[in-house]
Amino acid sequence: MSNKYKITVSAIALFAMPMTQLAQSQPYTKADANLSRISIVEHTGDFTPSELSFIDDKGRPFTMADFMDGEKPTILTLAYYECPMLCNLVLNGLTESMNQIDWTPGEEYRLLTVSINPRENSELAAAKKENYLSSLEKRPVPESWVFATAEETQSKALAVAVGFNYFYDEKLGEYAHPAVSYVLTPDGKISRYLYGIQIKPRDLKLALVEASDGKTGSAFDRLLLYCYRYDPNSNEYVMFASNIMRLGGVAMVIFLGVFIGGFWIRERRKKKVALASENQSVALGK
């Protein structure tokens, strides 16, 4: 299957359309005309452009290359901070999933949220960041989640690189966009697309383990990744039957080995005891 294929997101895009537009009386088919402009084109395996430049929530410039530390995977989201609905739903859902996994931002993974609105500034980014950091049950260091702004050429280039197709509705003064989070490898390669406003905690964790190539997480996390595979049809991780059967076979061999080995050891001990007893009896008889 190709790493690049277009996924229609009309159902997701419905959430992106402003409520005022959805409430209008004209038939939905007319309001739906722009939905074809909202989509995701997957570029799994491609690198995000390292030269793209942004401004962090403290007003400091940085590039994508600066952000990638080469050690931890990154959750990337594209949003804008004055979004009336969908961006908040995506970030709320992501935060909820993060609260349900046993990993802490900054320790096992990092996050980068980039505004697609070039008119927004670092003050707005800082306010949005504080809001979401305070909602995390495991309080990370602030640097583990960066909320950034950028010039339009930079944010648009990032959107194109990850296949995030959106548009600005001049009449309403709002952006319409899909709902998706990206998981990047420690060196900035696109590893996984996680769709929707509610990401299953299991999928989030497995995607992070996968992006780190098993270097992040425990042996049990890596075992889970062996048992699950990402299904592009359902857009989630599902049990991989053949690997589970292999693990079951290995477990059975180990169990039989332990059982037979224990039985053999017990029998040897019994023979040694019997032989010792027989020798003792012979010695007493003499």
* CATH classification at residue 107: 3.40.30.10
pLDDT, position 281:
60
Which residues, given as ranges, of the chain have pLDDT below 70? 1-36, 214-230, 235, 237, 239-264, 266-268, 270-286
User: Does residue 201 share a domain with residue 84?
Assistant: yes
Query: In this structure, is residue 235 part of a structural domain?
Result: no
How far does Cα 100 stand from its chain's mean position? 13
What are 51-103's pLDDT values in tens digits?
A: 999 999 999 999 999 999 899 999 999 999 999 999 999 999 999 999 999 99
Same domain, 158 and 269: no
Give domain status of residue 186, yes or no.
yes
Same domain, 146 and 252: no
pLDDT of residue 256: 47
Which tokens go with 155?
């944010």
Domain of 41 in residue numbering reads as 6-213
How many domains does one find in the chain? 2
Same domain, 255 and 139: no
Does residue 53 share a domain with residue 195? yes
- With both helix axes pointing from N to C terminus, report the angle between 219-227 and 201-211 in degrees, rounded to the nearest 10: 100
Read off the tokens for 12. 């997701």
Both 247 and 128 in a single domain? no
pLDDT of residue 263: 54
Instruction: Tell me which of 194, 213, 232 is where a domain ends.
Output: 213
Q: Mapping DSSP to helix (H, G, I), strand (E, B) and coil, where does residue 25 land?
A: coil
pLDDT of residue 27: 43
Residue 220 maps to a domain? no
38 & 109 share domain: yes
pLDDT for position 217: 52
Q: Angle CA(225)–CA(228)–CA(233) in degrees, nearest 5?
A: 130
- Is 176 a domain residue? yes
Shared domain check, 139 and 101:
yes
* HSE toward the beta carbon, residue 176, CA cutoff 13 A: 28
pLDDT value of residue 193: 95
In this prediction, residue 98 carries a pLDDT of 97
Residue 83 in domain: yes
Give residue 212's pLDDT. Answer: 87
Question: Does residue 198 sit in the same domain as residue 262?
Answer: no
Q: Give Cβ neighbours of residue 280 (< 8 Å, ≥ 6 apart).
A: none
Same domain flag for 137 and 178: yes
